[in-house]
Amino acid sequence: MFHSARALLFSKEFREKSHYCLYAALKELFVKTDELNDEYVENFRNAMVLREDADYRTKFSKSGANAVLKKANEFLNEAKKILGKQV
């Protein structure tokens, strides 16, 4: 999801400085313009939280990982649609 989100941001000639900045930029540049449904951006934020929990608090589960993989695939497909329109 992170790299898909970065590709979207790069398409607008922006670059993030942190995961949170990437989240905020997606909201501003894609959700506000109705190019991306807010659900995808919130899924990105939830994935950030789960990653932080796994990396820093050793809290993780197989079901959480599987849920993030499913949402990441959906996010990737949506990003591809958006980027395909911009080419």
Tens digits of per-residue pLDDT, 53-67? 787 888 778 888 899
The superfamily in CATH containing domain 2-86 is: Nucleotidyltransferases  domain 2 (1.20.120.330)
Residue 87 — very low, low, confident or very high, per pLDDT cuts 50/70/90? low
Backbone φ, ψ for residue 61 (5° rounding): -150, 155
- List Cβ neighbours of 44 (8 Å cut-off, separation of 6 or more): 1, 2, 5, 22, 23, 26, 75
What separation in angstroms does the CA of 40 have from each of 19, 57, 76, 84?
15, 25, 10, 17
How many other β-carbons are positioned within 10 Å of the β-carbon of residue 84?
8
pLDDT > 90? residue 51: no
**Domain regions of the chain by residue span:** 2-86
Closest CA to 79 of 24, 29, 6: 6
Residues in the chain: 87
What tens digit of pLDDT does each residue of 33-46 get? Answer: 999 999 999 999 99
